[in-house]
Structure 1
């Protein structure tokens, strides 16, 4: 994928295609879920047609991403596809209370994505979840309790971890936020 040109990666359609593929959905699968034709979805992914706000809301719902993750902040001239400024990060993620996630990658078209996660004090994911991904995380600040399968880990600044499709859940029972950087392959947001 390193050979893609900037024009091939800097579009809403490219992000929608990447999200669809990361979820193992065909054009037909997603079009059926949306109640749209395969031709319409193909045109959206190729940036021939612009989806309406209602279409974007439905796409976000079916792809399990926040609506705001489908909107881009304008990058400075010459920085598109290369640099993401702190104040231009796209919010992404599961929208769980107490977890704020931002995309550090310029877009979703690479073989991986990099995510900045802030786990607020007392935030918790109680239900085990699993994704068909390989993920590596690094704790920048704060502390986090992480369960991978049934094993509990106490993570502190400088610690890192890996999850390979296993079930996991997390909790920040501390009074300070925990900030982590995640690398996820393939992209899921």
Structure 2
């Protein structure tokens, strides 16, 4: 075992959930990693601990930032799988477009994930996304401009919206952050 790798009872389950959400087999990922299917299976069952280099390669294969796999916070054993403390949320994404996201779900093993998103002032999604997901967002504060399936909307505190297998893009052209809670099915992070 590598002493530098993160300690988490959910790391393997998250890797498995992300792999399955992308429709990839153990064999496909193992081939890309130049590792055995047995080794990857043990990682997914938390029986083998991947090195930092392994995590970097796994994150690349799954199309997620390494921080998603690396920043598992050890919750007290009686809270694992049930509670996510505000101070223990896992950051997701690079934040380069002005979007800061944190995972609110305890892990990625459910049929959905819940995400806390903060859209920085004067930020914009550079390219529209079109994911094979159903997503519902609820605005907590600020205002967000959305283009969903070619239609433009502006949403604010208390408003909610749905994106269902269609192209979308967001922007926050305003001077204050916008904060939203998203539920995404199936998990994509």
Q: Same fold (TM over 0.5)?
A: yes
- Aligned position for 2:153: 153
- Aligned position for 2:105: 105
Kindly tell me the number of residue pairs found equivalent between the two proteins. Answer: 181
- Structure 2: 5+ residue runs without aligned partners? 1-7
- Aligned position for 1:162: 162
Q: CA deviation at 1:80?
A: 1.1
Q: Does the 8 Å contact 1:66/1:95 carry over to 2?
A: no
Distance 2:95 2:50 in 1: 22
Distance 1:96 1:184 in 2: 21
Matched position secondary structure for 1:174 = coil
Distance 1:33 1:25 in 2: 11
Q: Does the 8 Å contact 1:64/1:94 carry over to 2?
A: no
Q: Which range moves more in the overlay, 63-72 or 13-22?
A: 63-72
Q: CA deviation at 1:94?
A: 5.5
Give the TM-score normalised by the residue count of structure 2: 0.91
Q: CA deviation at 1:126?
A: 2.3
Q: Does the 8 Å contact 2:128/2:167 carry over to 1?
A: yes
- Aligned position for 1:15: 14
- Aligned position for 1:174: 174
How has the CA–CA distance of structure 1 residues 96 and 22 changed in structure 2, closer, same or farther, with 3 Å as cutoff? farther
Give the TM-score normalised by the residue count of structure 1: 0.91
Q: CA deviation at 1:34?
A: 2.1
Note if 1:141 corresponds to 2:138. no
